[in-house]
Structure 1
Amino acid sequence: MKRKLLFGERMLLGDGTEAFNAVIPFRLRGIFKEEDIQHALGQIQAKHPWLRAIITHDENNIPWFEVPGNHLPIPIRTVMRKGENDWQEESAKEWQTLFNYEEKPLIRFIWIKGEELSDMLFVFHHCLCDGGSAMAFLYEFLQILDHPSAEIGVESPILGIQDVVPAEILNNRRQKLKAKFIGRLAATAIKCIPVSKKAIERKNDYLIHWKFDKETSSELISYCKSQEVTVNTFLSAAVLHAFKKVRGNAAFNKVSCPVDIRRFAPQIKDDHIFAFGLMIVVSANYKINFAENLYAMQEAVERKTAKLNPYITMMVMESAHDALKNFTKLLKHGKSSNDCMFSNLGRIQIPHQYKEFTLDTIFSPSVIGPLGNTTTLVTSTFRGEMDFSFMGSEGYLPYSEALAIRDEVIETVKLQLDPIAVL
């Protein structure tokens, strides 16, 4: 089984010399054997063919996902647990560790082994899948780890754009011409944009982690409901406010927010191994107050989201493979134009109590890659607690400023929730 990488996947893959890795850390309370972990990993590989895949290149140097005839197990690396923050150190280490994807799968597993408490990490190349896919196979892994004979089904994998874009759109002459025209236009424009000969030096990467307790998390969700805005919009506003306050005129007033393609393309199931994403950019109006901004931003988010078209977007990108090199160069060498990427995975629907163990927590994923500004904030909610992973690089955002931005986000949230606390 094999398929060509789509444009976005090729962009994330790069040339193999720079890592673009995502990490899903979680904490389990229980006692485990490595053979049981390996069995669970083998079972999720049996369900998802692309978790067994390597990367091969054809005569035109085009990369393909290919499932080899011989089984290639997910590698396990075990380290002894010393403290609460080991998972952060191992996450940062895994950001930098390249995948030997021509010989091994694009996924590996880290077991930070303790006597009764273990931290575990799924690490995968971002070209393989997104956070939504990762949560699906994490859920399946835990099912098998608890009950080795559990049935998790078999994925019918996506084999190309034809499995995502409906035939009546993909084969429509007008839509094909439209996609090709936009693709050519974009490719030409990218060529004309001046870029520096040298990429910005990334310097040291870092991870800042924090949580809101159940009470604060519940109050935040209730506040958003009362204001008729999403948690995503509220936190985007808080992030933009924090960047402005800490960075002043150096702030761009732009946050990029991924939008789950599954909302628009039902062909992509929750458990599909797939990496394609959609994006909107959110900004604030500093001439009005925070509460007024929430309404204005919510309207803008809904308007931009309604205009998203995953099918045409994919067709445009697939018509522009020859522009990949220029596009990648623009991302790496062009000036940064946004403050950060902000991704909200929402409530994670994975049980915490199992027969053989307890899932104490799922830490929000982290990801760092070589395509420009690495500053990223990811949040998720598990067992009623909102969890945050804030990652970046000194060359784009100094660590001291990142800490100040974190403090400002927390303070902004507390200030907005204060009236509820008083009541």
Structure 2
Amino acid sequence: MSDSSRLAGSERLHLAGAGLVAALVGFSSSFVIVLAGLRAVGATQAQAASGLFVLCLAIGVAMLWLGHRYRIPITLAWSTPGAALLASTGEVAGGWPAAVGAFLLVGALVVLSGLVAPLGRAISQIPVPLAQAMLAGVLLSLCLAPVQGVAQQPLLVGPVVLVWLVMLVVARRWAVPAALFTALVVALGALRGGGAGVDPAVLLPVPEWTTPALTWQAVASVALPLFVVTMASQNVPGTAVLASFGYRTPWRSAMVTTGAATVLTGPFGGFAVNLAAISAALAAGPQAHPDPARRWRAAVAAGWSYLLLAVLSAALAAVIAAAPAGLVEAAAGLALITTLAASLKGALEEESWREAAAVTFLVAASGVTVAGIGSAFWALLAGLLMRGISGGPWRARSTAPR
């Protein structure tokens, strides 16, 4: 008797529900950050909406493929830390086409990390404290937005923060989605109150092609930091989450699949498809199903859910684009606080690396741009230089699976 026929209707419903929750949590807790990041590096509203749309499609299709192929609950996502990196980087030399070229380069590097063993070993040499410190520095200015928003626009931002605080007590998992939903409600209310509206023509998802270009500034400011952040903050933790539930990630296939998805969606605004980290446990844990052998169906359900979310992506992007200034930024900042806390912990956990990590954090948080290259690149360089000056051992926790 097949696994499908052994599943009772209640089991199918439970697995589908677990997959839907995983998709909703992953999508709703960070889609605003994706839109903000794409707009920051030069995308128009239509191009940012296109990016959100193709990311949902790629994540859904890739999850269906990996789930059916390996029968383990592999869940995928976009790189939320990567989107935050884009938001802090801003437009680079060459504009949006150069950013798109950087996305394609990231995808190619991810594919190579799965196929070429020396590159995988090189990734393992990236010190975790410096990678996490760079990410924390990038996130700092974004996480200050709720504080600034409450001070400057308390009637707009205050309800969003209040809902977030209440939900932290009532249902922590849904705190960020609830805050973002509140932001959408406030945004719609502001639109109606101001007599403005959203053009119905932008409510349907449309992929927008951009011919890629590439500049050395985009490579240094976008491609390399985005690759490091995606590997260190998404792919490696995602592998660790699956391992904690007894699953071994098919590393090569996962990297080739997600990297290829990034390359294919890059010209349409897809900046990074990768393993899910935060939401991975929702499909891989016992709450999805008591039997570990059947939890892969929750990941498949999450894949179908992302395909449905793709249909709604353009409408959500249109509302976000029309929202009052500061509202979306505040909601995005709330969504990143947990990531900031985890990054700070990872950066400062090893005492021997704290000085180098602190320097990396400060340079990344400064937002400086030198020779057209953003602060994330200079932060890693400064951290490595500080480590060399301090004379400590270079070995730190690995950022890649062994």
Does the TM-score normalized on the shorter chain lie above 0.5? no
Higher percent of residues as strand: 1
TM-score (norm 1): 0.26
Higher percent of residues as helix: 2
Higher relative contact order (CA 8 A, sep 6+): 2
TM-score (norm 2): 0.27
Larger Rg: 1
